[in-house]
Amino acid sequence: MKKILVSVTFALSVLGAGYAIAESCSEPNDVQLPDGASASTDEMVAGQQAVKKYIADGEAFLSCMEKEEKANADSLTDEAKKANVERYNVVVDKMQVLAQNFNEQIKAYKAAQAEQ
């Protein structure tokens, strides 16, 4: 009985190590981009600042994930490692998509300004 309890406790602590990374590293908050076709200059500048903050927060998150993964490498299960890689990749993808979408809004803004 004692062996089972020790095994279960160990398994839970190993699984918990993967979740500790998830809890100690904060993903960046989503950003609402301005509509470049109708946005004012101030709205576009605010959008640019929000994108820069998102990217900086995303990079801080990725750095945190890397540090936590290294610190807990011996205790992470393969499943926890896989989940962490997937979470890392999702944030990288979100950062890239946000940058691309903002660039599209800049083009729309410039086109709208040229028409005026």
Confidence of residue 13 (pLDDT cuts 50, 70, 90): very low
DSSP secondary structure of the chain: -HHHHHHHHHHHHHHHHHHHHHHHSPPPPP-----TTT--HHHHHHHHHHHHHHHHHHHHHHHHHHHHHHHTTTT--HHHHHHHHHHHHHHHHHHHHHHHHHHHHHHHHHHHHHH-
Instruction: Give tens-digit pLDDT for 43-101.
Output: 999 999 999 999 999 999 999 999 999 999 899 999 999 999 999 999 999 999 999 99
- Specify the length of the chain in residues: 116
The DSSP 8-state label assigned to residue 33 in this structure reads -
- Within a 10 A sphere around the Cβ of 108, how many other Cβ atoms? 17
Confidence of residue 9 (pLDDT cuts 50, 70, 90): very low
Q: What is residue 22's predicted lDDT score, i.e. its pLDDT?
A: 56
Q: What is residue 106's predicted lDDT score, i.e. its pLDDT?
A: 98
Per-residue pLDDT at 15 exceeds 60: no
Q: What is residue 101's predicted lDDT score, i.e. its pLDDT?
A: 98
Is 36 strand, coil or helix? Answer: coil
Is 102 strand, coil or helix? Answer: helix
